[in-house]
Structure 1
Amino acid sequence: MRTRVTDEQLINWINSRRSVGNLNIPAPTHTQIKAAVECAVTAPDHKKLQPWRFIVIEGNARHELGRAFLAAAEAQAAAQGESLDEKTRTKTYNMPLRAPTIITVVTDMKCHQKVPPFEQLLSTGAAVQNLILALKAQGYSTVWRTGLLCNEPAVKDYFKVGVDDYIAAFVYTGTSGCAMPDRGLIETDSLLTFKNTTS
């Protein structure tokens, strides 16, 4: 019999989510990734357009992504009349090696008169958060990365992302042995307003 999680337990669990940069094996299995994506696509999605795609990068494909990052960085530098030093080239190429698996979330915008692009982009962000929580539920750590290179032509070309679409997230995932410090007190008073107009 499945034990019911209380509302308080669920809220505390969500509040315990932390981004973890150092990730190692084991990584989620394909079955676990599919389960996480099933959760991702329950995100609010006006008119059920499914304006997202998920591309899993693992193994040697991480080196292919590293080459795309490097090409993007070199193009950025050249546009400013500069060149990359060897240390920067190596660091850029090795960025995808910071986790055993990267789940890349890209938009797949649909033309719909009632669902503007910004709604579809927000829906994609909600899908990313669901994905991260679903991976956490299965025991994996994550960090949501983007960065200055993520929507450069060389990187978008690697993922076959169109001109009007975006790479919204690189969800690096794997296992972390780091003990995460407790999150400090969450203060929302400065962020939250209640309005209640009475006649």
Structure 2
Amino acid sequence: MSDAKKNKDISISEAKGAANTALADATVTDEQLINWINSRRSIGNLNEPAPTHVQIKAAIHCAATAPDHKKLQPWRFIVTEGDARHALGNALVAAAEAQAIAAGESLSDKERAKTAAMPLRAPVIITVVTQMKEHKKVPKFEQMLSAGSAVQNLILALKAQGFSTVWRTGFLCNEPAVKAYFGVGTEDYVTAFIYTGTSLRHTPTRKPLDIESLIKFES
């Protein structure tokens, strides 16, 4: 077996092992699990420590268990950290400049600097993109929904490992410059920038949700 193949197998094993260990240690009741999911909040301005590569792979392993009709795996994950965040910032600036030109405007130095600094608001960004397939039994909207489910699993798996997240998109995420940066085709989408790291602030309590108007029971 080649060293590359061996290292790949070890990486996959590490991710599965971390996910299985977390599951084995999770001696929680149904009520505790439901309360834990309800406690999820979006937290911006994240800091070190960031999840390790093993923790990120464990979270992506959970993401890949999302409902996926015909097992098409219509999603991919790009992990951006360190200096690569500056390259992503440059792609966002290019996208913002293209938008401004299309509107007959120009980007100010302040706007350019603010846009370039967006990826620096967290030590790690996990970008989830679609890679949708042609399939007679699986329409594209199902594959997009699967990508959304993968994002939610990813967020919850990061939370389970002690990290905060915020799901960002915005008007720039599917501009040609950003799609080109991630190698995303014209028919696919950047569905999420998951900023993750450690929050130095107390997680705010969620206000009670009124779901009665959202539900209809039929029998």
TM above 0.5, yes or no, is yes
Say if 2:136 is the partner of 1:132.
no
Q: Which consecutive residues of structure 2, in runs of 5 or more, have no partner in the other structure?
A: 1-23
Q: Which of the residues 79, 85, 88 maps onto 2:108?
A: 85
Task: Output the TM-score relative to the length of structure 1.
Answer: 0.97
Following the alignment from structure 2 to structure 1, what is the Cα–Cα distance between the partners of residues 26 and 151?
Answer: 27
One-letter identity of the residue aligned with 1:162: G
Following the alignment from structure 1 to structure 2, what is the Cα–Cα distance between the partners of residues 89 and 2?
Answer: 46
Cα-to-partner distance string for 1:29-60 (whole Å, 9 max, x where unaligned): 00000000000000000000000000000000
Secondary structure at the aligned position of 1:54 is classed as strand
Alignment partner, residue 15 of structure 1: 38
Query: Counterparts in 2 of 1:35-114, with a 5 A limit?
Result: 35-114=58-137
Cα-to-partner distance string for 1:128-186 (whole Å, 9 max, x where unaligned): 00000000000000000000000000000000000100000000000001112211112
Cα-to-partner distance string for 1:2-24 (whole Å, 9 max, x where unaligned): 56210000000000000001100
Report how many aligned residue pairs link the two structures.
196
Secondary structure at the aligned position of 2:125 is classed as strand
Alignment partner, residue 163 of structure 1: 186
Following the alignment from structure 1 to structure 2, what is the Cα–Cα distance between the partners of residues 74 and 26?
Answer: 33
Say if 2:180 is the partner of 1:180.
no
Question: Against the structure 1 CA distance between its residues 39 and 2, is the aligned structure 2 distance closer, same or farther, given a 3 Å change threshold?
Answer: closer
Following the alignment from structure 1 to structure 2, what is the Cα–Cα distance between the partners of residues 2 and 45?
Answer: 27
Alignment partner, residue 216 of structure 2: 193
Cα-to-partner distance string for 1:72-129 (whole Å, 9 max, x where unaligned): 0000000111001111010001000000000000000011000000000000000000
Question: Against the structure 1 CA distance between its residues 3 and 149, is the aligned structure 2 distance closer, same or farther, given a 3 Å change threshold?
Answer: closer
Secondary structure at the aligned position of 2:212 is classed as coil
Q: Which of the residues 117, 122, 127 maps onto 2:140?
A: 117
One-letter identity of the residue aligned with 2:127: T
Following the alignment from structure 1 to structure 2, what is the Cα–Cα distance between the partners of residues 109 and 63?
Answer: 28
Runs of 4+ in 1 over 3 A off after TM superposition: none
Q: Which consecutive residues of structure 1, in runs of 5 or more, have no partner in the other structure?
A: none
Following the alignment from structure 1 to structure 2, what is the Cα–Cα distance between the partners of residues 187 and 120?
Answer: 30
Question: Against the structure 1 CA distance between its residues 8 and 146, is the aligned structure 2 distance closer, same or farther, given a 3 Å change threshold?
Answer: same
One-letter identity of the residue aligned with 2:171: L
Following the alignment from structure 1 to structure 2, what is the Cα–Cα distance between the partners of residues 86 and 169?
Answer: 27
Alignment partner, residue 147 of structure 1: 170
Q: Residue 74 of structure 2 contacts residue 130 of structure 2 at CA under 8 Å; is this kept in 1? A: yes
One-letter identity of the residue aligned with 1:186: L
